[in-house]
Amino acid sequence: MSSVLVRTGQKLSSLLERQGKCPDRRELIAEIHDFLAMLEGIKPVFLHGRSLAPKDWINEVLEIAQDLGLHIIKGPFWDALSYTAFPNWYADHCRNELQPYRAWYICKDDTVAETILGINRAGGHLTVSEEARLLGYPECCVQAHYKRSQRYHRGALAILKRVAGGNENKMRKLLASQAQLVPVTQEEIDDFEIAFDIYEAKFGSWNLCHACECETDTRSEVLSKQYFEMVQKAKLEID
Ligand SMILES: [Zn+2]
Ligand SMILES: [Zn+2]
């Protein structure tokens, strides 16, 4: 009898192979790692359905979670971004854009499920450290994710301001019209460069902060090692 970990790994692997030549393969593999890491207790919550994964993938992973008797909680996209640096109309626009989306938060533990429900009741608002703890990602890397996001919004606002000649009504209209934001000034270019400067972890779907990318003995290194050992234990043969 193979373990639940191995059997689940097999189910997810064959689901991956059925996707054929999928452009998101790398992302789907990272999701398999995340799912199994949650099953192994390396991370409390597996975040599902937030990527651009195909619909049948999303549904079949949900079925696998259901068969395992896991908590499956549908809710708004979590967002730990601090909007205080932005004008209210801009912050409202960002929140409204996220508002229609739904993801599934999957976990084993009853207490964790309660915490998820609480966050979802609060509209998906949580702190960076809460998000890091629940998703099981290094806090430095989650922090860096939101810092990149801040830089993106700062750049976007600077572009809007420049194009609209500082007129707030025009800025709002431009934003609502989904106008393409093209960085021109050095500051705008720097903001966008930093915003999209992403290093992916080898396993799992978190992005590395600069320290985790460049230095040794980091939180990401420890977590990557846990993921690596879990992948061995699950006898996963995908790449
Ligand atoms: Zn880090
Ligand atoms: Zn570096």
151 neighbors 191 (Cβ within 8 angstroms): yes
Q: Does residue 188 lie within any of the structural domains?
A: yes
Q: How far is the CA of 182 from the centre of ligand 2 (A)?
A: 25
Going from the Cα of 201 to the center of ligand 2, the distance in angstroms, rounded, reads: 14
Q: Give distance in angstroms: CA of 202 to centre of ligand 2.
A: 16
- In a domain, residue 33? The reply is yes
Ranking 56-70, 159-173, 194-208 by mean pLDDT, the lowest is 194-208
Q: What residue numbers bound the domain in which 193 lies? A: 4-233
Ligand nearest to the CA of 212: 1
Classify residue 210: in a domain, yes or no: yes
Residue 210 CA to ligand 1 center (angstroms) comes to: 7
Q: How far is the CA of 218 from the centre of ligand 1 (A)?
A: 7
Q: How far is the CA of 210 from the centre of ligand 2 (A)?
A: 5
Q: Tell me whether residue 239 is in a domain.
A: no
| Residue 194: C-alpha distances to residues 111, 137, 145, 161, 188 (Å) | 37, 21, 10, 20, 10
Ligand nearest to the CA of 210: 2
In a domain, 31, yes or no: yes
What is the distance in A from the centroid of ligand 1 to the CA of 147?
12
Residues 10-28 as b or e (16 or more Cβ within 10 Å = b)? ebbbebbeeeeeeeeeeeb
Which residue did the predictor score with more confidence, 2 or 97? 97
Q: How does pLDDT run across 187-235, given as a tens digit for each residue? A: 999 999 999 999 988 888 899 999 999 998 999 999 999 999 999 999 9
Ligand in closest contact with the CA of 218: 1
Distance 142 CA to ligand 2 centre (A): 17
Q: Does residue 140 form part of some domain?
A: yes
In the chain, how many domains are there?
1
Q: Is residue 238 part of a domain?
A: no
pLDDT at 1: 58
- Quote the ligand 2 centre to 121 CA distance (angstroms): 38
Distance 123 CA to ligand 2 centre (A): 35
In a domain, 39, yes or no: yes
Q: How confident is the model at residue 20 (pLDDT cuts 50, 70, 90)?
A: confident
Measured N-to-C along each axis, helices 110-121 and 128-135 cross at an angle, to the nearest 10 degrees, of 140
Give pLDDT, residue 129. Answer: 98
| Distance from the alpha carbon of residue 213 to the mean position of ligand 2, in angstroms | 6
pLDDT digits (tens, 9 = 90+) for 173-189: 999 998 899 999 999 99
Residue 25 has pLDDT above 90, yes or no: no
pLDDT in tens, 102-132: 999 999 999 999 999 999 999 999 999 999 9
